[in-house]
Amino acid sequence: MDRTRSITPDAIAAAHESFIGCRSNQIARNAVAASGIAAAARNPQVAALGTTTFDIQLEQGEITNQKRSGRCWMFASLNTMRYRIMKKLGLKTFELSQAYPLFWDKYERSNWFFENIIATADQPLTDREIAYLLSDPLCDGGQWDMFRSLVKKYGVVPKEAMPETFHSSNTGTMNQYLTRYLRAGAKQLRDAHASGADNAAMEEIKQQLMDGVYRVLAICLGEPPATFDVRIRDEKNELKASGTYTPQQFFNEFVDMNLDDYISIINAPTSDKPYMHSYTVKYLGNVVEDGGVRYVNLPIESLKRAAVAQMRDNLPVWFGSDVGQSFLREDGVLDPSAFEVDTLFDLPIEAGLDKAARLDYGESLMTHAMTLQGVNLDADGNPTRWRIENSWGEDAGKKGYEIASDAWFSEYVYQVVVDKKYLTEEELAAYESEPIELAPWDPMGALAR
């Protein structure tokens, strides 16, 4: 007999009888109706994880704030770099400009977009890859490899050299109009190709379009400085740095970081991505001449081991996670037991999917980048809690910091960036092997915002 495809009155009546027949359902209903799921399911014992003292604890400067922008990947990257400047100059706090890399990322990403449009000009608009390219060509999000490409080409500048503007802190409207401009440019390029335009003509069109991108960015963000004066004093008013620098000179002298030594390790325990292999993602990048992204997929224990080792050497760690999962925001605590949702509904809602299945079925992916600044260890040296520097201002979490249980790290951390010296020879060989290309829409191509 064929199965019943529609909802019948008998099915509704049975569901009703099942619901009212359980007293806990009515208690849960009343609690949720009065205060919402999050409040009713909140586990108060998890808040006790919010310690402020750690076995390994790095001290950073004042908490930064990305405001209404998706620049977390930039803030996290710059926070690892400003830490080096503060150590080098003996400063209690320092801040690098976040508007500066924003300008160059938008500019480079526009060029990346137009180059991909030209390369795919023979494909129909209905092709899935073309739809992907057009869907969100200029969002704020990004990954470490993309930031590394920007800094290698453009360097960094102190915040005073290129301060925030309205649209660096509130990118939505700027992105909206630039995206519309890019889509119009894509049509212009595809129409020109269809009409038989040669390479020189296509390049001329692209350059005119890029001039327009620069104009919009300069109006919204200001022009990036080619050189700037530096005067940096410490808490004792002693002059620690003075002179005129280019952004590249400033990076080389004060950050003093070999960017190519820092690589991305991911944890994607899905059947289509075996461990000990290198991966890249089609169309993911920004600086054309530097290529796309590359990661090595390793078990979560390898990510933890490398992160702890780098912090033992007194250096913070960039990482990407799904920050919205199991997060007690007011307490600044991340833990899989933060909300007893399954108990509240008596259903396997959170327990229904493991980490691999959450990736495969669209329930989770990397959404946000932050910086690991400390860790607690048990008697065997295994991590138990992680200290996290966020970029949501001092009012978030515990004065701008979050605390994650090691169980949360296992479930919701997808990427860490560490010096390659912390990898084993086998892991490093896997990273350096020819990368397997993932589809543009693969969850490991998600951008941190």
Instruction: Phi first, then psi: give them for residue 158, nearest 5 degrees.
Output: -60, 155
Catalytic residue among 65, 286, 297, 390: 390
- The DSSP output letter for 337 is T
Point out which residues pair with 278 in neighbouring strands.
296
Q: Are 334 and 390 in contact (CB under 8 A)?
A: no
Element containing residue 360 per DSSP (H, E) = helix 355-360
Count Cβ neighbours within 10 Å for each residue of 178-204 and write b for 16 or more, e otherwise: bbebbbebbebbbebbeeebeeeebee
Catalytic residue among 193, 267, 368, 376: 368
Closest of 395, 398, 394, 396 to residue 385, by C-alpha:
398
User: Is residue 390 among the annotated active site residues?
Assistant: yes
Point out which residues pair with 281 in neighbouring strands.
438
Token pair of 155, please? Answer: 């360097």
The sign of the dihedral angle between the CA atoms of 265, 271, 277, 279 is negative
Residue 388's Cβ-side half-sphere holds a number of Cα atoms within 13 Å equal to: 29
**Distance separating alpha carbons of residues 95 and 368, to the nearest angstrom:** 20
Q: Name the amino acid, one letter, at 427.
A: E
User: Is residue 167 among the annotated active site residues?
Assistant: no
Catalytic residue among 65, 72, 116, 286: 72
Q: With the CA atoms of 191, 197, 203 and 205 taken in that order, what torsion angle do they form, in degrees rounded to the nearest 10?
A: -40
Catalytically active residues, by annotation:
72, 368, 390
